[in-house]
């Protein structure tokens, strides 16, 4: 089946050329054919998906306002296995929670289902979202559908694979340091990391609470905007969510895009740089002004991130003691143990000021850099990853090299700003390359506008793995 957008799916459902049940059958057949080789799903909710599909088919037949009342009706979605799903196993891809079945669903999952989406399963990820490759799952490594010898990116690996290989129309992920944008870039998808405080975190297993953002994968920017409109907004159970009114973007406005020199320095693969520069030229031909900018504290972002994030990880994982639910701490994997030890160390007496306290001060400088940049530009264009997808096992035994895979993405999480990854081309080895647009806090509408303009004149997002 060719790639469908949400709009195209709804046109088919309205015309009666497909039904919700048939869409579930299609995606389940794809899962059964591919999941063994790609390892995208941990749990498949077949019976649950059919039950929902039948109910929505009845609504479409009986309710003339079905598509306005249910903006995602019939949309099959896969959910990263950090989101709690009532009655459906949720593991965080860790043996600690291998048999855990939640009694309630995350706010985001509730909103998706209230809008008519059909949950087809829970996707594989690096355990506890600790990773940049999809290799740290206790349920086995995931594989890139463009070349199964390569990683799909992480930690939201299974969600990216599910959409890229047509096992669901859209998918939910989480982005703590690039865990949506990087796998989106590696698998030729659109990946949104919203502003911190735009989408509720309630009911999502925490990795690093001041960095976690709930986002998603789609084929088009238009679909990403639709999902964002459903999932965002205040939640009385999450005090970090801001009550923000998103105004339609003023299309008559002159737009400026900043090009940060720090993102085009030593270590950037020439093929990646070529794709990002080409994307900048596409925007320039549209009449958008390109402005050279500087983000001077970017060079400290990865160091700050790998102090702040493990510190928050050590705190969040402390609740998994095997007493109230789940298995004992002996079930933690190597990466979880590494981050717990790092985090406990930087928070310990005598080291707090030297490491964590200093990192938080530099984090403030990074936030200030972005604020100053957005006083003169509307968005920032940058690479997502310094390289294309790397081979399975290539960095598995070198944590430092694995951590450096996040070098272009972590700054956005530290600053709490939104980022949108967009397919931009391919490397000579046939693997996808994406670029990212970064915006000021709660400026998703500008990123969506730029992304939609880009996809109107390019067709990279229509390419599918063989």
Residues labelled as active-site residues: 80, 155, 179
Q: What is the rounded distance in angstroms from the CA atom of residue 423 to the CA atom of residue 451?
A: 10
DSSP strands (E only) in 16-169: 41-44, 76-80, 118-123
DSSP strands (E only) in 231-300: 256-260, 289-293
Q: What is the rounded distance in angstroms from the CA atom of residue 267 to the CA atom of residue 237?
A: 42
Secondary structure string (H, E, C) spanning 204-229: ECCCCCCCCEEEEEECCHHHHHHHHH
CA-based torsion, 383, 387, 391, 392: positive or negative: negative
Q: What is the rounded distance in angstroms from the CA atom of residue 135 to the CA atom of residue 153?
A: 9
Q: What is the rounded distance in angstroms from the CA atom of residue 56 to the CA atom of residue 54?
A: 5
Instruction: Answer for the pair 134, 157: CB distance below 8 angstroms, yes or no.
Output: yes
Which secondary-structure segment (H or E) carries 424? strand 419-426
Q: What is the rounded distance in angstroms from the CA atom of residue 34 to the CA atom of residue 162?
A: 10
Instruction: Answer for the pair 200, 108: CB distance below 8 angstroms, yes or no.
Output: yes
Instruction: Answer for the pair 121, 44: CB distance below 8 angstroms, yes or no.
Output: yes
Classify strands 379-383 and 256-260 as parallel, antiparallel or unpaired. parallel
Question: In angstroms, how far is the first alpha carbon of the chain from the final one?
Answer: 12
Q: What is the rounded distance in angstroms from the CA atom of residue 131 to the CA atom of residue 405?
A: 10
Q: What is the rounded distance in angstroms from the CA atom of residue 205 to the CA atom of residue 201?
A: 8
Per the document, the length of the chain is 466
């Amino acid at each position: 089946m060719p790639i469908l957008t949400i709009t195209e799916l709804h046109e088919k459902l309205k015309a009666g050329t497909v039904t919700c049940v048939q869409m579930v059958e299609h995606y389940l057949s794809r899962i059964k054919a591919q999941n063994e080789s790609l390892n995208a799903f941990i749990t498949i909710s077949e019976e649950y998906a059919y039950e929902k599909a039948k109910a929505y088919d009845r609504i479409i037949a009986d309710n003339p306002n079905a598509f306005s009342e249910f903006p995602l009706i019939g949309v099959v979605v896969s959910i990263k296995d950090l989101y709690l799903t009532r009655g459906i196993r949720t593991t965080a891809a860790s043996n600690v929670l291998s048999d855990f079945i939640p009694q309630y669903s995350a706010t985001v999952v509730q909103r998706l289902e209230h809008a008519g989406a059909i949950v087809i399963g829970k996707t594989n990820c690096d355990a506890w979202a600790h990773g940049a490759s999809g290799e740290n799952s206790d349920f086995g490594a995931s594989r890139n559908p463009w070349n199964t010898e390569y990683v799909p990116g992480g930690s939201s690996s299974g969600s990216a694979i599910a959409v890229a290989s047509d096992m669901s129309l859209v998918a939910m992920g989480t982005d703590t340091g690039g865990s949506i944008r990087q796998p989106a870039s590696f698998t030729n998808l659109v990946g949104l990391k919203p502003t911190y405080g735009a989408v509720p975190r309630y009911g999502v297993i925490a990795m690093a609470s001041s960095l976690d953002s709930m986002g998603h994968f789609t084929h088009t920017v238009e679909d990403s905007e639709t999902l964002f409109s459903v999932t965002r907004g205040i939640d009385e159970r999450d005090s970090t969510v801001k009550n923000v009114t998103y105004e339609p973007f003023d299309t008559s406005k002159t737009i400026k895009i900043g090009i940060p020199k720090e993102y085009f320095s030593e270590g950037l693969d020439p093929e990646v740089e070529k794709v990002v520069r080409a994307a900048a030229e596409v925007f320039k031909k549209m009449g958008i002004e390109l402005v050279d900018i500087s983000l001077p504290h970017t060079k400290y972002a990865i160091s700050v991130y790998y102090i702040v994030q493990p510190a928050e990880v050590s705190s969040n994982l402390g609740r998994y003691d095997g007493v109230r639910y789940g298995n004992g701490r002996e079930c933690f994997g190597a990466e979880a143990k590494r981050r717990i030890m790092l985090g406990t160390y930087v928070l310990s007496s005598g080291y707090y000021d030297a490491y964590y306290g200093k990192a938080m001060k530099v984090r403030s400088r990074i936030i200030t850099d972005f604020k100053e940049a957005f006083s003169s530009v509307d968005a920032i264009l940058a690479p997502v990853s310094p390289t294309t997808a790397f081979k399975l096992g290539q960095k598995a035994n070198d944590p430092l090299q694995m951590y450096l895979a996040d070098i272009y993405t972590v700054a956005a999480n530290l600053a709490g700003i939104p980022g949108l990854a967009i397919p931009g081309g391919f490397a000579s080895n046939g693997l996808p390359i994406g670029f990212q647009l970064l915006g000021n806090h709660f400026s998703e509408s500008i990123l969506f506008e730029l992304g939609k303009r880009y996809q109107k004149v390019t067709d990279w997002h229509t390419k599918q793995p063989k």
